[in-house]
Structure 1
Amino acid sequence: MKKVLNVLIMLMSLFAYAQSVPKLLGMADELYQNDRYLDAIEFYEKVVGMDKTNQQARFRLAQCYNRTLQYDKAKSTFLNLSNTLNHEYRARSLYSYANLLKQESRFEEADSIYFFLISVPDAEPYLVELSRKQREGCQLALRQEKADRGFSISFMEDINSDFHDFGAVLNPSSDHLVLATTRNLPGVQYEGSQYEGLLPDLASFERRNNNRWRMSSSEQRFSDLNTQWAEGSGSFTGDGRTFYFSSCRGESGADCGIMVSYLEGENWSEPVLLNDYINEPNSENKHPSISVTGDTLFFVSNRIGGNGGSDIWMSLKGLEKESWTPAINMGAVINSPENEITPYYSSAYECLLFASDGHVGYGGFDLYAAKGESFFEPEIYNLGDPFNSTWDDTYFAISDTVGFLSSNRVDHELLNIYSFSVNNEKLFLSLLISGESLIDSRLVSKFRDIQSLDLVTFRVEDYAGYDLFEPIRPSKPKPKILEDVVSGELGEIKFEHLYFDYASATLRPESQVALQELGLQLGDRSFESIDILAYTDSIGSDSANLLLSNNRGNSAKDFLVSLGIDSSRINVLPRGEIPSKDSDHWYKRILKRRVEVIIKSSESIDLPLAKTYILRQSMSLQELAGKIGVDFNELKKWNGNQEGKLAAGSTIRLVESGDAERPIKLLVDETDLSLFEKQAKDQG
């Protein structure tokens, strides 16, 4: 009887275990996906204690430790995952562990792990690319450790507190210093769920006679702009009478949008949310930086159509008040697959400064400058010591003769504000990113062609095999299905581009075929939503192009709805004209007249995609089939039954296996126009 009782107890324990692990894991995952990392830790720790083979839970636990600044626990957990073979989180754990070593200035150890990670067979391409950049950052830091560059920054003792203080800017008209802080201010503040303490609010300071700072009196107090949620950093126009700032609603300080307030007498007006071109629905929008003239707004967003993580975007003001135009992504040289945040545009030097954890740097977030004739192919400079450390350095801004930045370099936890003197902004930034003492901070080691070799300061022997001399622009390798899909979170799956005729919003036959195939592939599969990004070429006014792109997006949406897909799950995102730094050739205009279809799903969906080519000569589908050796009936199936001659510039879909080569005289691949561009230039 006793033996039977022991067996029953054992079975009941096993049943309770089987029931509790999935339940705990579900609760942990929900908290994790809502950025409630402190709360999620408790549940992940229980799951890992009960099921030591659950590598996803261990990886997310490590991420939670890291994002709540518990670095020792994060490092230990990542290291254990790295030493466990044959699981999908090993490469990402290696990378995260190396990053934490780099933060501790253990550059040689970190460098060796990045070097090993590059050779790991199952490492995602974007991790390999980031590891190469991180290796360059290690070498950069080692060379500049003992360099005295003649710059200094000061810890602002009378401003900083025992809480987070960040994002300081001066109002040019009143000399009030405005910043974001998590200290306990008058009014209601909710507690944050990522770090210990309150959600941040805006606070203003005024200068005393002894040149020290104190909390502002009733004059121009910014407390009226605060809510119980999170208010973040801001930016003033040149006259100091308009203030743009971030406001985030939600328990984790998420759901961020950009607001504007005006100085009316001595009070700031009720904040107003900027339009949908700035605050695009279903995206986080924050960290505004307004030009001195008030007509150009730079900001940060994780909206669809970026390069990964948070990107920096730009918008121009229309003729009417706050009538902002569709936002433009700042391009793949500035925006990396990781995160770019806290932009500051220097009108004096025509230079964009920002923080990033995806460029060559010392560790954590570093500060960078982008300077060049075009924002789409600038030189990128690491600002170097003392502006950058191995920890997080962010919120660079200059206000007249003083500059500010925010960093957690002291205790590796709290963000504090630092200041530095600026006699002349243009001269200061010019000296900061040029000159022999700063040449090592110029990030051109693998981003420029061989003609720029005289500007390259990274030693060639350090980067043998790093494609140093390959004449290509910076690439952003990312997997077709992002890593979040693999880990069970909501990810993005990109479908084919759909092209349109000039000034037309009518779906072409081959685009209809492509959408029909997409509808069949989705079938009864579970997916969250479909985003349709719609574009035009550069011909026409901004307002006309925006309307045309909207019509093109709705044409694709209407077709998908006709296939039985729920209209409420399809979002049309008109983008208007696609900006370009290149000369505007006719074939490039063809490729700009398009929509992009992106499926958001928590599960992997394998979509067999056709390749699209530009037809260079007028001919029928039957003639083309004969010239390229493809069955005519198959070609019709891929492109619709198009009769008669197709005009030069038509787009053709080909479903191919392997790396089929097509004659450049007939067809040009949409993804590789370099040879075609060279031939076009040679022909005048």
Structure 2
Amino acid sequence: MWLNTADNYFAKKDYQNALIHYQLVLNDTIALNELILPYETQISNRSLSKKATEKAGKSVTLEEYTNHQIALCYQYTFDYKRAEEQLAKTYTSPGYPEDAFLYGNALKNNRNYSKAIDIYEGFIRSYTGGDSLIALAKIALQGCVYALDENQVKTEVTVQLATDSVFNEGTSSFAVSYFGGEDRVMFTSARPHGVILKPEQQSEFLCDVYWTEKDDNGNWKSATNFGRPMNSAQHDAASAVNNNNTIFYTRWSDANRKEQSIFLARMMNFMFFEAYKLDERVNQPGYVSMHPFISMDGKTLFFSSNRPGGQGGMDLWKIALDTLGNIVGNAENLGASVNSPADEITPFFHEATSTLFFSSNGYNSIGGYDVFKSNYDGQQLAYTAPVNLGTPVNSSNDDTYMIWDTKLKKGFLSSDREPCEFGHCYNIYEVENSAIVITLEGYTFVKGTETILPNATITIKDVKGVKDQYVVNSNQDGYYTVRITIGEEIFMKAQKDGYFADAAVINTELITESTTLRQDFYLEQIPQKEIKIDGIEYDFDSDKLRPVSMEILDKLYQFLELNENLIVEINSHTDYKGSDKYNMNLSVKRAQSCVNYLIGKGIDSKRLVAKGYGETLPTHYVTPEKTPILDQNGNELILTEKFILTLSKEEQDRANQLNRRTAFKVVGENFNLESK
């Protein structure tokens, strides 16, 4: 009788009552007075281990089975200390080889990382029950190694318990989200005087959504319950609001914890209309959907769900919203770059840095759920590999619902890291980041060599035009360093007399912690001779530029814009065919056509000199690969008419084409637009 009752409770995920009845199976004189605590986070991958512990097909004793189930109950109610003690008895049982994996998890949750590594490694070597748990064990092993790495500790971050009288009253508090600004927030709490419909209900064990805001002195006011009909006699939690006072939140009941769904409630002057459950595009029947978050523009709903089509367990999803908060189209999985074979939950997208913060018990988690971040690349339309935020943000227990202000200076976190009166409960923590320092450094080199180029001038310009441009200089060793700030895009240009400029663009919008960036510059020495502009073509017997020539001159325009101090001569040359006078006139007109085009693009006419040379300056003879061809004395051959006539007909045509060229050369470096 006790066993069937316990199994029924276990199947309904009522692990506290299941635990009581499993213990009664072992000793029916045991009677425990345990409370069911509200705890919204769900680990769907538990199903991997539960499938392996069903009685059907197992040759185990009743005692073995019951002890195994008790261990699971402790694990699933987050009583990691008792779970470790119980699993130490069961993990060597041949009937339950999966318990070794769970034992490693419990050791990890209790910060016993070295022993957990040994257990995981033994499990990976010996387990024959399938690849799913092996994959999870490898992920958990990585987390233990990461936890032991001293470099993962973020000394610039502080985490402290939020004000008890506001945020952490009652048995459980979690899921802070901004509500119309950074000085007003919503959060979930199970505390006295919440919404109940029946006298026997205890609101201190029932989640409701509350809100608070700062007073004139910057202190948080007493929290206010949103009341009915948003809050109900069920659990209402993890809320997020769009720009039109539409609130999305999770609702579930203790009677059926398998059904957790996202609801929508519309608000006017802090009064709510009746909430309703979103349709199957978000809440797919038979699966869990929870943890809604709304993008700053109100156009995207992020949420977590174990619905089909994901990477395994709870995954992060998104779906479009219209201006009224109605869902549009179908949900889209964020993909394997974010979602692991384990569980990903509690998304928060930081708009200023295009960074997704979320919690996962996969990747290199140091225990339970850890907070990770992943940058979104708008050009590639993809997320970068998740990065663990390290300690003290993360602990050996569950750390979730990370949110930040716009400047990444302050935020909130939910965690069960500290023991509480009821054995396990979530609390809200305030997180503060010291000022993010971005150091940009590098060297200036001579292009094509590793030679240091000292005393170069580096101009830094704010692409958005908010800040004034400024200048730094590389020193005698070619080294420079400068401090820049987050959330900006800067254009950098390195210059020095006698060299062409080099440029780079640095974007700090995706940076979320102090870091040092490296940007080197390679400046090419300005040659004394002309530089051929390959591909310039004209109509026959004409100075009219062909479209392909304009495309090439556009690149020259960009070069002149970068090197805005240069004065250049655009020169044109012909072959020997035709009279000297005709060739000279045609070359002058063609050079002027190039100059006119560049002036039309915006280059100051005082920076351009048109020069025609006709056939008077034949060029050097080169191979099709542009390698110089030398005479018997090692001198470069010149394509004079006399020499060309000694070549084959086909090679004469190529030689004449080499002479028919347009080129430029630098004739001055002191042009300054401001001095005109």
TM-score computed with the length of structure 1 as normaliser = 0.55
Q: Secondary structure at the match of 2:327?
A: coil
Q: Secondary structure at the match of 1:389?
A: coil
Partner of 2:236: 231
Q: Secondary structure at the match of 1:260?
A: strand
Matching residue within 371, 383, 387 for 2:389:
383
Cα-to-partner distance string for 1:460-510 (whole Å, 9 max, x where unaligned) = xxxxxxxxxxxxxxxxxxxxxxxxxxxxxxxxxxxxxxxxxxxxxxxxxxx
1:252–1:331 CA distance, 2 compared to 1 (3 A): same
Contact 1:191/1:198 (8 A) holds in 2:
no
Partner of 2:430: 419
Give how far 1:336 is off: 2.0
Give how far 1:303 is off: 1.5
Residue 212 of structure 2 is aligned to residue 212 of structure 1: no
Partner of 1:346: 350
Partner of 1:36: 14
1:375–1:66 CA distance, 2 compared to 1 (3 A): farther
The separation in 2 between residues aligned to 1:240 and 1:282, in whole angstroms, is 31
The separation in 2 between residues aligned to 1:273 and 1:61, in whole angstroms, is 35
Partner of 1:396: 402
Residue 89 of structure 2 is aligned to residue 80 of structure 1: yes
Q: Which has the higher strand share?
A: 2
1:430–1:332 CA distance, 2 compared to 1 (3 A): closer
Matching residue within 162, 165, 178 for 1:170:
178
The separation in 2 between residues aligned to 1:319 and 1:210, in whole angstroms, is 35
The separation in 1 between residues aligned to 2:308 and 2:135, in whole angstroms, is 22
Q: Secondary structure at the match of 1:410?
A: coil
Partner of 1:65: 74
Give how far 1:204 is off: 1.6
Moved more, 268-277 or 379-388: 268-277
- After superposition, where does 1:130-529 map in structure 2 within 5 Å? 130-144=136-150, 147-158=153-164, 159-173=167-181, 175-188=183-196, 198-216=205-223, 221-222=226-227, 224-237=229-242, 239=243, 241-251=245-255, 253-317=257-321, 322-373=326-377, 378-400=384-406, 402-411=410-419, 413-421=424-432, 430-432=510-512, 435=515
The separation in 1 between residues aligned to 2:382 and 2:312, in whole angstroms, is 17
Partner of 2:49: none
Cα-to-partner distance string for 1:632-657 (whole Å, 9 max, x where unaligned) = xxxxxxxxxxxxxxxxxxxxxxxxxx
Contact 1:95/1:114 (8 A) holds in 2:
yes
Contact 1:172/1:240 (8 A) holds in 2:
no
Q: Which amino acid aligns with 1:200?
A: C
Contact 1:381/1:433 (8 A) holds in 2:
no
Cα-to-partner distance string for 1:141-170 (whole Å, 9 max, x where unaligned) = 111278453122232124212411100112
Q: Which amino acid aligns with 1:47?
A: V
- Equivalent pairs counted in the alignment come to 408
Partner of 2:525: none
The separation in 2 between residues aligned to 1:244 and 1:406, in whole angstroms, is 19
- After superposition, where does 1:55-134 map in structure 2 within 5 Å? 55-84=64-93, 86-87=94-95, 89-90=96-97, 92-134=98-140
Q: Which amino acid aligns with 2:145?
A: Q
The separation in 1 between residues aligned to 2:160 and 2:401, in whole angstroms, is 15
The separation in 1 between residues aligned to 2:199 and 2:259, in whole angstroms, is 16
Give how far 1:420 is off: 2.6
CA-based RMSD:
3.2
Q: Which amino acid aligns with 1:271?
A: A
Give how far 1:31 is off: 0.8
The separation in 1 between residues aligned to 2:298 and 2:331, in whole angstroms, is 15
Partner of 2:4: 26
1:148–1:293 CA distance, 2 compared to 1 (3 A): closer
Q: Secondary structure at the match of 2:16?
A: helix
Runs of 4 or more above 6 Å deviation:
189-193, 422-425
Give how far 1:100 is off: 1.5
Q: Secondary structure at the match of 1:327?
A: strand
Q: Secondary structure at the match of 2:122?
A: helix
Partner of 2:23: 45
1:145–1:174 CA distance, 2 compared to 1 (3 A): closer
Q: Secondary structure at the match of 2:205?
A: coil
Cα-to-partner distance string for 1:295-321 (whole Å, 9 max, x where unaligned) = 111101121232222111111135885
Partner of 1:561: none
The separation in 1 between residues aligned to 2:119 and 2:346, in whole angstroms, is 29
Give how far 1:419 is off: 1.7
TM-score computed with the length of structure 2 as normaliser = 0.55
1:121–1:141 CA distance, 2 compared to 1 (3 A): closer
Cα-to-partner distance string for 1:68-121 (whole Å, 9 max, x where unaligned) = 23333221221111122x21x22x211111111112221111111111111014
Q: Which has the higher helix share?
A: 1
The separation in 2 between residues aligned to 1:197 and 1:354, in whole angstroms, is 27
The separation in 1 between residues aligned to 2:200 and 2:428, in whole angstroms, is 21
Contact 2:259/2:287 (8 A) holds in 1:
yes
1:395–1:217 CA distance, 2 compared to 1 (3 A): closer
1:141–1:323 CA distance, 2 compared to 1 (3 A): closer
The separation in 2 between residues aligned to 1:240 and 1:418, in whole angstroms, is 28
- After superposition, where does 1:528-677 map in structure 2 within 5 Å? none
Give how far 1:24 is off: 3.0
Moved more, 248-257 or 325-334: 248-257
Q: Secondary structure at the match of 2:386?
A: strand
Contact 2:316/2:345 (8 A) holds in 1:
yes
Give how far 1:426 is off: 5.0
The separation in 1 between residues aligned to 2:516 and 2:99, in whole angstroms, is 38
Q: Which amino acid aligns with 2:427?
A: N
Q: Secondary structure at the match of 2:342?
A: coil
Cα-to-partner distance string for 1:353-396 (whole Å, 9 max, x where unaligned) = 11111221111100111224356662111111221111110001
The separation in 2 between residues aligned to 1:368 and 1:426, in whole angstroms, is 20
Identity %: 25
The separation in 1 between residues aligned to 2:294 and 2:362, in whole angstroms, is 24
1:250–1:82 CA distance, 2 compared to 1 (3 A): closer
5+ long unaligned stretches in structure 1? 1-22, 438-684
Cα-to-partner distance string for 1:22-58 (whole Å, 9 max, x where unaligned) = x433221211111111111122223345995454433
The separation in 2 between residues aligned to 1:191 and 1:98, in whole angstroms, is 43
1:397–1:69 CA distance, 2 compared to 1 (3 A): same
Contact 2:318/2:333 (8 A) holds in 1:
yes
